[in-house]
Amino acid sequence: MDIAELSRLVELYDLERYLFGMVSTKFAQAQTLTPYDFFAIVAWKSNRSKTKVKDGLAAARKSASELMRDVSQAETLEAKVDTLLHIRGIGLPIASAILAVCYPREFTLLDIRAWTTLKEMSVESLPQRYPQNSKEYLRYCQACSMLANQAGLSLRELDRALWAKNWEDNLHALIIRRAKH
């Protein structure tokens, strides 16, 4: 291993930065992803799901690159979501991660921590339940976009803040429960 390889691995260690920096840029240029970058997103969102997604692609007789080319050619945001959801092993959370990396201005991650925080904030136009389909997920993205705009944040920054709020609340609850015992 040489110095250049060490530098590359340091960049890869911060997987989120790699995905939302390099992979996002590469997708914007090529309108597809390499299998490596595709599965890096899947593993980042749900490492335990990568084999199911690989098997789903094989069952659909698609490569990751072919799937992402189909996504890029889909004419509507809903069609982009649905193209991913047609692959066994890709549910809304994984689809949201792929789309958030590839289209960071239109899509955000669907995450239970962020969802819980938004529900507690009574965010306007948020779907009544945790999104179960592409239409509800797109409403979730729209609600997040409105809040991000109000706060002067990107969708990614908003997602991090929502996740952190839930994490912090859970940590405080743990400390309070421990202190009472």
**pTM of this structure:** 0.93
Distance CA 119, CA 112 (A): 10
Measured CA angle at 160 (ends 15, 130), to 5 deg: 110
pLDDT digits (tens, 9 = 90+) for 36-65: 999 999 999 999 999 999 999 999 999 999
Length of the chain: 181
Q: Is the pLDDT of residue 179 over 70?
A: no
Domain range summary for the chain, segments of one domain joined by +: 1-107, 108-181
Give 48's DSSP letter: G
Tokens of 42: 């899947």
Burial label, 30 (beta-carbon count in 10 A; 0-12, 13-18, 19+):
middle
Name which of 80, 87, 95 is nearest 63 in CA terms. 87
Report the mean per-residue pLDDT for the chain.
95
Query: Could you tell me the pLDDT band of residue 27, with boundaries at 50, 70 and 90?
Result: very high
Distance CA 84, CA 98 (A): 9
pLDDT digits (tens, 9 = 90+) for 96-150: 999 999 999 999 999 999 999 999 999 988 998 999 999 999 999 999 999 999 9
